[in-house]
Amino acid sequence: MDAPLDKDIKKMLADKEAAKKLMQAAIAGARNGHSGTVTIDGKTYKIAKTKTLEKSTDSDSAL
C-alpha cells in the first residue's frame, strides 16, 4: 500500500538537494523539538512532528 506522501514532498524528493534538506529539517530540526523549514521553488515549508510511536516486534500492542 502507498504511504501518505504530500505532493510537495514528492517534488522535494525528486530534487536530491531538497530531499537532503528535508531530511535535515525532519531529523535534526523537527525531531529535536523545532520546526524545520525547507525551501523549494521559492516556497518555504514548515515541517513539524505530529506524533511518535516506538515500535517493537510486538506490533499488536501498538494500537
* Nearest CA-CA partner of 18 in 36, 33, 34: 36
The three cell numbers of residue 54 are 516506538
Least distance from C-beta 50 to another protein, angstroms?
A: 4
Least distance from C-beta 15 to another protein, angstroms?
A: 10
Least distance from C-beta 23 to another protein, angstroms?
A: 6
Distance CA 39, CA 21 (A): 9
Residues that bind another protein (CB under 8 A): 1-6, 8-9, 13, 19-20, 22-24, 26-35, 37, 39, 43-57, 59-60, 62-63
